[in-house]
Amino acid sequence: EDQVTQSPEALRLQEGESSSLNCSYTVSGLRGLFWYRQDPGKGPEFLFTLYSAGEEKEKERLKATLTKKESFLHITAPKPEDSATYLCAVQVYSGGGADGLTFGKGTHLIIQP
Amino acid sequence: EAQVTQNPRYLITVTGKKLTVTCSQNMNHEYMSWYRQDPGLGLRQIYYSMNVEVTDKGDVPEGYKVSRKEKRNFPLILESPSPNQTSLYFCASSVGGPVLHQYFGPGTRLTVL
């Protein structure tokens, strides 16, 4: 069974204190790994898609990396507006074409001023 | 403005009373999907549709129905709702499948008494 595990469940940082969120996955054949941001009471907002080990993508203070077993979302010098829940999801290859997505439970990030 | 809309945003109903949650997107996307989000369980996919008249089950399809008669609309039907379907529901769409940027709707909070 495909599994996606995110850690930590919650993380509290001071403004400017860099850190990393982890997403480990156990899947039969990875088609893509995704990072989303979700603010309270809103739908998830797309951040990145990573397709193969070694790939990296950046957006402002966020950088996502991918290995064969896990992905990291690095947050550099975070600001209070970066506070949100960060979700990781994977899609796997299937014989009949595209499958759905499997999401992790998310990391709730709080950045204190 | 490119967006996914859901209606209603909030709904309180009783066990067994059929209901439909509508989802519409104005981006001419082929792929649409429904998720439910529960505390401690994260986002789980209910159904998805790769194109008109093409739908497939996600991880938790029991108790739900969908239809895709038009490209822009993807309603979620609960024919006989039960209290365990109390949840926050999200509709999403993307141009060519979940490996691409998915746009999420604002969510529908459903309570079944």
* A106–chain B Cβ distance below 8 A for any pair: yes
Average pLDDT over residues B47-62: 91
Average pLDDT over residues B90-99: 81
* B61–chain A Cβ distance below 8 A for any pair: no
From first to last of its 113 residues, chain A has per-residue pLDDT tens of 668 999 999 999 999 999 999 999 998 788 889 999 999 989 999 999 999 999 999 999 999 999 999 999 999 999 999 999 999 998 876 654 445 678 899 999 999 99
Half-sphere exposure in the Cβ direction for A83 (13 Å, CA): 11
* A91–chain B Cβ distance below 8 A for any pair: yes
* B96–chain A Cβ distance below 8 A for any pair: no
With a CB cutoff of 8 Å and minimum separation 6, the contacts of A16 are A77, A78
Percent of the residues in chain B that have a pLDDT greater than 90, as a whole number: 78
pLDDT band at B36 (very low <50, low <70, confident <90, very high): very high
Chain-chain contact of A91 with B99 (C-beta, under 8 angstroms): yes
DSSP codes of every residue in B10-33? EEEE-TT--EEEEEEESS--SEEE
Calculate how close chain B gets to A20, using CA atoms only, in Å. 20
CB-neighbour burial class of residue A76 (10 A; exposed 0-12, middle 13-18, buried 19+): middle
> For residues B15-40, b (16+ Cβ closer than 10 Å) or e, as one string?
eeeebebebbbeeebbbbbbbbbeee
Rounded CA separation B37/B60 (Å): 11
Q: Which of B79, B98, B76 is nearest to B89 (CA)?
A: B76
Rounded CA separation B89/B104 (Å): 10
Q: Which of B9, B27, B37, B12 is nearest to B102 (CA)?
A: B27
Question: What pLDDT, on the 0 to 100 scale, is given for residue A97?
Answer: 47
pLDDT band at B99 (very low <50, low <70, confident <90, very high): low
DSSP state of B39: T
Question: What pLDDT, on the 0 to 100 scale, is given for residue A95?
Answer: 52
If residue B93 lies in a helix (H) or strand (E), which one and from where to where? strand B87-94
Question: What pLDDT, on the 0 to 100 scale, is given for residue A70?
Answer: 96
Question: What is the interface size between A and B, counted as CB pairs within 8 Å?
Answer: 61
- List chain A residues with CB under 8 Å of B98: 32, 34, 91, 98, 100-101
Q: Which of B19-28, B67-76, B79-88, B98-107 has the lowest mean pLDDT?
A: B98-107
* A59–chain B Cβ distance below 8 A for any pair: no
Question: What pLDDT, on the 0 to 100 scale, is given for residue B42?
Answer: 87
Q: How many CB atoms lie within 10 A of CB A73?
A: 23
